Structure 1
């Protein structure tokens, strides 16, 4: 696998005050989960939308990061919303039953309407 095909890439966009869209692409595994964890822990606004649509891998380590981030957001009175319109991320979120704990949407637009 070429180096450009591996790893995790994050892109943050401030949509408006109090709202951050964080797009993740590539792989969230044991080697990259800490990067995602740090991104979800540092000074987040009232609402964060995490777009998982371009992930090619989401491991158990990545799922743990999502659970912890959702718990922290709830404790701090913030919202964490997920976007997962690809079969890889959606299937894993469904199998792990995370959809019952973290709102999962098919698009950023749908998430922002809630």
Structure 2
């Protein structure tokens, strides 16, 4: 949640859209408490996109679990010997400009058309 709050503070227009969507989805309440049922039945699609973008920019586990290959192989011009432990850096993958447009920018609409 800290990263979501940071990105909302950095992006005031995104914050306004999230606030508007939450207010519309949850309605007015006399207290600040909202039932779990109301939270889970509301779609809040824009807020979900903000959360996805935040997790993409700030992955909770930037290094994926180590894997060991079974046999020798070639990968991107490198020879990987058998039984080699390999770690995948998810943080770097998310910032590769060959695959992502403006990878360093917070773009909540980036995941608009992708399935959940």
TM-score between the two structures when normalised by the length of structure 1: 0.23
Structure with the higher strand share, 1 or 2? 1
TM-score between the two structures when normalised by the length of structure 2: 0.23
Structure with the higher helix share, 1 or 2? 2
The higher radius of gyration belongs to 2
